[in-house]
Amino acid sequence: MNGLKTSLNKRQKDILGRLLDKYERSKTYRDENKLNQSFTVKPQVIFSDYDSDFADLDEQTDFERDIRGITEIGYVEITEKDGIIRTIRLNADSVMEIYRVLERQELKNQEAEQIEFYLSHAGRGEILDRFCQSQIGRLRSQKKAEYDLEIAKNIVRLLEFIANNSDEILERELSIELFGDSKKFEREFRTKIITVLRKYGSFDDLLEDVDDKREQEHILLAEFNIFANPTYVNFKGDGRIILKNGSIIPLCMNVPLSLESDRMDAIEKIEIYSSRIVTVENLTSFNRIEEENTFFIYLAGYHNTAKQRLICKLAEDNPTGEWLHFGDIDPDGFYILEHLKKKTGIPFITYHMGISDLDGFRKYCKKLEENDIRKAHSLLSAGKYCEEMRYMLENNVKLEQEVISWKAFGRE
C-alpha cells in the first residue's frame, strides 16, 4: 500500500465497513483476547443471491470483481472453492489503512470524544446530569451511547435551554431559537427530548393516571413552559380582575373570558362574587352550562401548570368559596378529579357526577370499556368514590358530561 488515496465503490466500502464493525466488537480490539481472531463475512451477507439459481450472472461477475479488487490491494483475503468465493476475511495488517480510506474514526477515539463531550456538560442541571452520567457509564463499559454524537449535542442543547427557561415559549419558537427552523424540533427532536425527560426526570406523579400519550407529552413539556400553542384559561361568572397597574376588568356570566396563561403575573387579584366555583372538564359543557351564584372554569381535561396556578390564585383570593368539579361520569372523570385535588390541594367535591345523574339519563349511557373497568377497580381498591364505581360496574354504564349540560342546563 502506497498511502495514496484509494478509490473504492459503495459495495467495496460496505464490505470493509462490515468487517471493521466485527473487528471493533471483538475482544481483540479491546486487547482482551490472547488468541488470534479472524473477522469474516460471507458474500451472501452483501449480495443475497450470490451463487444461487436466481443470481443475475452479470451482477454476480461485477460483485466478484469488486471483492477481488480489494483483495488485490491487500485489504481482505478470500477463500474459494470451485471458483466460488466462500468467505471474505479482514487483513489485520491493513486495518489502519482501511480506517483512512473509509475516512472513519476509530471506535475508541469516537468513545473518547463522546465521553469528553458528556463530561463537559455534566452537572448543569439535574436531568441533564443524569443523562450525561448515564451515557458516560455506557461508553466506559464499552456500550454504545443512546444517541449518535451529533444528535446528542442537540438533545443537550435542548436540556440546557429548558432547564433555564422561565418564560412561556411555543414549540415553533423554541425550534427557531435553537435550530433556525420552525419545524425541526417537532420533526426531529420532540419525541427524543420527551423520551429523555421521562427516562431521566421524575414525572411519575405528574403523569399518573393520564393514559393518552399526546396529553402526557403536552403536560410534560408544559412543566418547562413549552406549549404547542398559547395556553388559555377560560372562565365565566360574576366578579372582577384587578391588574397590578390598577386597571379593573369586570366579569359576568354572559361574557366568558379567555386569559392567556403567561399574563397571570399582571394580575393582582381576582374577586369572585359567587359562593361556588366549578371546574369543567370539557369545552362543550363549559359553553352550555350556566347557574346562578356559580363561577365556571374550563379545564380541557387534565390540567397543566398554568391552570393549576390560576386555580390556586383563585382559591387564595376567595378563601370562602366552595369548590366543585364537573366532568364525565366515568372512571377517568374521577381520576381527573383526584389529579386536580392532588395538584392544587383544594378539597373539590363532585358536581352532577353522581348515581342520580347516571340513572336520570340512563338512555344516553355507554358501556364500560376495558380501561374503564380497570380504573374503576383501582379507585375501589383505594377506597375512593366507591358507590359510584360499584354502580358503574354493576350496571355497565358511564355517561359523558355533555349530556347533562345539554339536557339539564340547555336554554329553552
**pLDDT tens digits for range 176-200:** 999 999 999 999 999 999 999 999 9
Residue 2: pLDDT over 50: no
Neighbours of 184 (CB within 10 A): 17
Q: How far apart are CA 399 and CA 327, in angstroms?
A: 10
Whether 259 has a pLDDT exceeding 90, the answer reads no
State the pLDDT at residue 216: 81
pLDDT tens string 362-399: 999 999 999 899 999 999 999 999 999 999 999 999 99
Q: Rounding to the nearest 10 degrees, give the CA dihedral for residues 302, 307, 308, 311.
A: -120
Assigned C-alpha cell, 155: 438533545
Q: Which residues contact 213 (CB under 8 A, 6 or more apart)?
A: none
Alpha-carbon span 352 to 375, nearest angstrom: 20
R_g over Cα of the chain: 32
Domain 10-102 fold: Arc Repressor Mutant, subunit A (1.10.10)
Q: What is the mean pLDDT of the chain?
A: 89
pLDDT at site 207: 74
| Kind plus residue range of the DSSP H or E element containing 157 | helix 149-163
Does pLDDT of 54 surpass 90? Answer: no
Residues of the chain by 3-state class (helix, strand, coil), percent to 5: 50, 15, 35
- Report the candidate in 387, 388, 286, 279 with the shortest Cα–Cα distance to residue 331: 388
Residue 211 has pLDDT above 70, yes or no: no
Dihedral of CA atoms 10, 11, 14, 15 in degrees, nearest 10, equals: -150
pTM: 0.61
Average pLDDT rounded to a whole number, residues 253-264: 81
Q: Are 62 and 49 in contact (CB under 8 A)?
A: no
Amino acid at 319: P
Per-residue pLDDT tens over the stretch 308-348: 878 898 999 999 989 999 999 999 999 989 988 988 999 99
* The pLDDT value given to residue 410: 62
Q: Does the structure show a pLDDT above 70 at 4?
A: no
Q: Quote the CA–CA distance of 182 and 175 in Å, as a whole number.
A: 5
Strands (E) located in 84-218:
84-90, 169-170
For the chain, give every residue range classified as CATH 1.10.10: 10-102
Model confidence pLDDT, tens digit, residues 83-93:
899 999 999 99
pLDDT bracket for residue 1 (50, 70, 90): very low
Percentage of the chain exceeding pLDDT 90: 67
Instruction: Say if CB 335 and CB 375 are below 8 A apart.
Output: yes
Give the cell for residue 285.
Answer: 359543557
Burial (Cβ within 10 Å: 0-12, 13-18, ≥19) of residue 156: buried
Q: Which residue, among 213, 207, 369, 234, has the nearest Cα to 296 in the 3D structure?
A: 234
Cβ neighbors of 397 (< 8 A, separation 6 or more) are: 358, 362, 365, 366, 367, 368, 391
Pairing of strands 349-350, 322-326: parallel
Return the pLDDT at 213.
76
- Where in the chain is CATH 3.40.1360.10? 231-407
Instruction: Report residue 55's pLDDT band, with 50, 70 and 90 as the boundaries.
Output: confident
User: How far is CA 95 from its chain centroid?
Assistant: 41
Q: How far apart are CA 390 and CA 409, in angstroms?
A: 27
Sign of CA dihedral 403, 405, 409, 411: negative
CB 132, CB 121: distance < 8 Å: yes
Backbone φ and ψ of 32, nearest 5°: -110, 5
Domain 231-407 has CATH 3.40.1360.10: yes
Q: Which three cell numbers stand for residue 327?
A: 366532568
Confidence band, pLDDT 50/70/90 cuts, at residue 3: very low
Strand, coil or helix: what is 258?
A: strand
Count Cβ neighbours within 10 Å for each residue of 218-237 and write b for 16 or more, e otherwise: bbbbbebbbbeeebebbbbb
pLDDT band of 129, cuts 50, 70, 90 = very high
Report d(CA 267, CA 248) in Å as an integer: 10
Give pLDDT, residue 262: 64
Task: Please state the separation of Cα 30 from the chain's center in Å.
Answer: 36
| pLDDT exceeds 60 at position 62 | yes
**Rounded to an integer, what distance in angstroms lies between the CA atom of residue 227 and that of residue 165?**
12
Task: For residue range 94-127, list pLDDT tens digits in order.
Answer: 999 999 999 999 999 999 999 999 999 998 889 9
**Count of C-beta atoms within a 10 Å radius of residue 357:** 21
Q: Would you state the pLDDT for residue 39?
A: 94
* Residue pair 375/329 in contact by the 8 Å Cβ criterion: no
